[in-house]
Amino acid sequence: MKRALITGITGQDGSYLAEFLLEKGYEVHGIIRRASSFNTSRIDHLYTDPHEKDARLFLHYGDLADSSGLRRILGKAKPDEVYNLGAQSHVRVSFDQPEYTGDVVGTGTLRLLDAVRDYIDESGKEVRVYQAGSSEMFGAANPPQSEATEFYPRSPYAVGKVAGYWYCVNYREAYDMFVANGILFNHESPRRGETFVTRKITRALGRIKLGLQDKLFLGNLDAKRDWGFAGDYVEAMWLMLQQDKPDDYVVATGEAYSVREFLEEAFSIVGLDWEKYVEFDPRYLRPTEVDFLLGDPAKAEKMLNWKPKTSFKQLVTMMVEHDLELAQKEKTLVDAGHDIPPSMND
């Protein structure tokens, strides 16, 4: 049985990847952060009591800021594959917390690589590493962006990801480690965090449709993104670690839409005119914006035989339908005189 270790298992991608690997028969170990409230809602459905004989999902407390903990976890999990998905992943927030973001996203990657390097030396095992790189690394570079496009990061988050990318290349070359950089363009789902623009829109839309909310405040509607479905993208992560040689791959759909177009598509599904509900709030602007990301996934298609399965329309519909159901549950509670429990905001 292969063993995988996932940092960021409680996040959107971590939950889909854990599902995917468990289905493939892996034993999955995940690193979770200690929090004062529960932060495992995205993986609760996968969890079984670790004392059960057939348990294959194990969680360990740790943090990318804590290298001794990472080393200890590697020793316990004994992974064949390590997926580094942990990050302060919000671009806007990275301007408010630049040092912390750089530490977790950039130096955190280095801490993990170095711990894996020592673990390989001590155990004699081959361990393969996937690094969650981002299209944000391209930033202001002209679209379409491919593996050959020069990076031009536009936020502390993106600079941290560029550092992580180069640490990975360096460890690959210096120590002959199997490290693959995925350069993933935006990918969304009903499990997307609610402060990212797509989910913010679909969550508000459900509430507006059911009369629980009047307005939606947004920033720049002109930005264009190449939006895919997270469930499709985790397969590409796994495929990168099944190749003969480690390499770097862009993962994208090859289609871009503006935030305005996302709004139009989402609101049209429920027969509402978005312009009646959306208002501008400059708080959501970034000091430096990324205007246009459009990926060229030709290399992943050719080398990994990977293609996205979900279209833009299907993605928006899936998110809108999910958030309408969630809003319906909230409405039932509100109508019965209850407050909406915080867990419904996940």
Residues that bind ligand NAP (CB under 6 A): 7-8, 10-14, 31, 33, 35, 39, 63-65, 85-89, 104, 132, 134, 184, 186-187, 193
Tokens of 197: 């623009």
Cα distance between residue 99 and residue 139, in whole Å: 19
In the complex with ligand F7E, which residue's Cβ is closer, 28 or 218?
Answer: 218
Cα distance between residue 182 and residue 237, in whole Å: 7
253 binds, among ligand NAP, ligand F7E, none (CB under 5 to 8 A by kind): none
Is 42 an interacting residue with respect to ligand F7E (CB under 6 A)?
no
User: Contact region for ligand F7E (CB under 6 A) — 28-36, 95-103, 169-177, 216-224?
Assistant: 216-224
319 binds, among ligand F7E, ligand NAP, none (CB under 5 to 8 A by kind): none
154, 191, 225, 299: residue in contact with ligand F7E (rule CB under 6 A): 225
46, 65, 210, 223: residue in contact with ligand F7E (rule CB under 6 A): 223
Q: Are strands 257-258 and 224-225 parallel, antiparallel or unpaired?
A: antiparallel
What is the per-residue DSSP string for 108-145?
HHHHHHHHHHHHHHHH----EEEEEEEGGGTTTSPSSB
Residues contacting residue 222 through CB under 8 Å, at least 6 positions apart: 258, 259, 260, 291
Is 200 an interacting residue with respect to ligand F7E (CB under 6 A)?
yes
Minimum CB–partner distance for residue 274 and ligand NAP (Å): 22
Is 219 an interacting residue with respect to ligand F7E (CB under 6 A)?
yes
Site string for ligand F7E, 170-189 (x = CB under 6 A): ---------------xx---
- For ligand F7E, the binding residues in 247-276 under the rule CB under 6 A are 259
304 binds, among ligand F7E, ligand NAP, none (CB under 5 to 8 A by kind): none
Minimum CB–partner distance for residue 285 and ligand F7E (Å): 7
Cα distance between residue 134 and residue 89, in whole Å: 10
- Smallest CA-to-CA distance from 60 within 33, 95, 90 is with 33
In the complex with ligand NAP, which residue's Cβ is closer, 171 or 227?
Answer: 227
User: Contact region for ligand F7E (CB under 6 A) — 62-70, 164-172, 194-202, 314-322?
Assistant: 194-202
22, 196, 254, 272: residue in contact with ligand F7E (rule CB under 6 A): 196
Number of H helices, E strands in the chain: 11, 13
Tokens of 245: 């040689």
Look at the alpha carbons of 85, 305, 249, 82 in this order and tell me if their dihedral is positive or negative: positive
Q: Could you tell me if 274 and 207 are in contact, meaning their C-beta atoms sit under 8 angstroms apart?
A: no
Residues contacting residue 271 through CB under 8 Å, at least 6 positions apart: none
Cα distance between residue 342 and residue 215, in whole Å: 20
Minimum CB–partner distance for residue 102 and ligand F7E (Å): 14
149-187 in b/e form (b: 16+ CB < 10 A) is bebebbbbbbbbbbbbbebbeebbeeeebbbbbbbbbbb
In the complex with ligand NAP, which residue's Cβ is closer, 35 or 336?
Answer: 35
86 binds, among ligand F7E, ligand NAP, none (CB under 5 to 8 A by kind): ligand NAP
Minimum CB–partner distance for residue 209 and ligand NAP (Å): 25
Residues contacting residue 239 through CB under 8 Å, at least 6 positions apart: 304, 305, 306
DSSP state of 57: E
Q: Could you tell me if 280 and 219 are in contact, meaning their C-beta atoms sit under 8 angstroms apart?
A: yes
Is 284 an interacting residue with respect to ligand F7E (CB under 6 A)?
yes
In the complex with ligand NAP, which residue's Cβ is closer, 131 or 177?
Answer: 131
In the complex with ligand F7E, which residue's Cβ is closer, 80 or 289?
Answer: 289
219 binds, among ligand NAP, ligand F7E, none (CB under 5 to 8 A by kind): ligand F7E
| Chain residues in the site for ligand F7E (CB under 6 A) | 89, 91-92, 134-136, 185-186, 195-197, 200, 218-220, 223, 225, 259, 284, 286, 289
